[in-house]
Structure 1
């Protein structure tokens, strides 16, 4: 049993992304490969300096030129893909899993559970996450993974509110009432029956959290917090190479473009995937 769905809305709902989805999928796959195998794909050692060839433009030897220490820019952006993306992936997974747990409890159980959870969520949600992240990491000198842990806590309230809203929409549907009638325990209904029906929202939340974490951690690295100088993290590279825009602009443009492409690709794929999962769930029901 399921809710009634307007077939016209189902056919017309959601943006027609056309060719954007496969293009973004290819770009995301390339970036993912670089994140996993970037160090082995790099044509040069990303840490080797060649001061005689510092700040040079693209050439047959150095496709994206060199930075102010003569290090190959292409090798450094490939090597930095892993450190630039792993932190956001961990932060997004952590925030989404916590948000799923808290959102299910608040939305399905209600009562005192909902009151306590949502008051805590409202308190954290009122904080400016990026500013708090910068202040905490700057004050206490935490490293990159400390920043990831703080970001998980600060991102959880948004995930919790979104997932709770989706659970509230499921709680009053006939299949939940039927499960109560046959005597299924609440935790089984919540985990086995309700959680799969909010999967599209969970996936969309996960991907949006990844994009937000990528931007936040890149901004933190740009400010020189969380990672030591000379790191191949894209945000750190952008900060250190912005003075080379006249000599070799690709030293700064390449990491900036990769951050933008990764964020754009995941956002578009998330939008498309949410629509597909939602239509598949409704068709199944």
Structure 2
């Protein structure tokens, strides 16, 4: 009897486990739609002010109420999706392009190249990324893309280390020696043969870099250090709504929930992608 119950329960557990990545992917798809068309999907102009209305709870045609300037909170959330997500995506993409290139080159060539890349990565890795970003952006002046560029430089050492470690395992395998013997160029060997075998690490670290940068840029916006000029931003909305929680809690709850949900969904999707790509590579 217990065996029968266990056999019935196992498929249900499997369905729940498979359902979570699908739910994460669906949520990230909605976020992507918000990035592309958030301003057009907003029911009201996110910048339209009604000082006479001021802070209100949901109602009167405002799904999540209004802020202290009478702006529609839901419209601001939709319009702010691009500012919240594009920067972290750019940082993650920059880290992957630089980290994979330098990491594979260090592993493949070794010697002086490996030493120089490692010393550079160690030097930058020792710097407190968020603190440096706050100081530099504060001195230079608040700038969205300045923050993006800084975070790429300060975040790339982790990507270099991971890709180098994964590539080091691959360059010692016979297929790399065979490619060298066949006269394939280093670039072709790394791109056509080494890169596909470290793809699980690359995809996972891309998503993890996106998550860490999403939180870092939201923190910078919350502190008022940076923000997308002329555009709403989840971190800025969270900061502006904090003193008004008693009047309209949705001002701070909704951007906080969106930041957490986006980060959690990307993390779960990264774990799932790593498992799937690893199993696919093993099967191959």
What CA distance in whole angstroms lies between the structure 2 residues aligned with 1:128 and 1:159? 16
What CA distance in whole angstroms lies between the structure 2 residues aligned with 1:119 and 1:145? 27
What CA distance in whole angstroms lies between the structure 2 residues aligned with 1:249 and 1:111? 58
Residue 83 of structure 2 contacts residue 231 of structure 2 at CA under 8 Å; is this kept in 1?
Answer: no
CA 40–283 in structure 1, closer or farther in 2 if over 3 Å, else same: same
What CA distance in whole angstroms lies between the structure 2 residues aligned with 1:239 and 1:229? 16
What CA distance in whole angstroms lies between the structure 1 residues aligned with 2:253 and 2:75? 14
Q: Cα offset for 1:231?
A: 4.1
Give 1:10's aligned residue.
none
Give 1:11's aligned residue.
none
Q: Cα offset for 1:21?
A: 0.7
Stretches of structure 2 that go unaligned for 5 or more consecutive residues are 1-15
Give 2:52's aligned residue.
52
- 1:49-93 deviation digits (Å, cap 9, x = unpaired): 112222111115111011111110000000000111111111110
Give 2:11's aligned residue.
none
Q: Cα offset for 1:32?
A: 1.0
Q: Cα offset for 1:143?
A: 0.8
Q: Cα offset for 1:25?
A: 1.0
Q: Cα offset for 1:183?
A: 2.9
Give 2:19's aligned residue.
19
What CA distance in whole angstroms lies between the structure 1 residues aligned with 2:27 and 2:193? 35
Q: Cα offset for 1:108?
A: 1.3
What CA distance in whole angstroms lies between the structure 2 residues aligned with 1:178 and 1:200? 23
Give 1:188's aligned residue.
188
Moved over 3 A (4+): 228-231
1:53 aligned counterpart, secondary structure: coil
Which has the bigger relative contact order, CA under 8 A and spacing at least 6?
A: 1
2:230 matched to 1:218? no
Q: Cα offset for 1:225?
A: 1.3
- 1:118-147 deviation digits (Å, cap 9, x = unpaired): 001001001111111111111221411011
Give 1:7's aligned residue.
none
Give 2:198's aligned residue.
198
Q: Which moved more, 1:182-191 or 1:78-87?
A: 182-191
What CA distance in whole angstroms lies between the structure 2 residues aligned with 1:195 and 1:230? 40
What CA distance in whole angstroms lies between the structure 2 residues aligned with 1:186 and 1:44? 55
CA 243–168 in structure 1, closer or farther in 2 if over 3 Å, else same: same
CA 218–136 in structure 1, closer or farther in 2 if over 3 Å, else same: same
Give 2:5's aligned residue.
none
Backbone CA RMSD of aligned residues: 1.5
Q: Cα offset for 1:230?
A: 7.2
Stretches of structure 1 that go unaligned for 5 or more consecutive residues are 1-15
Q: Calculate the TM-score normalised by the size of structure 2.
A: 0.91
Give 1:243's aligned residue.
243
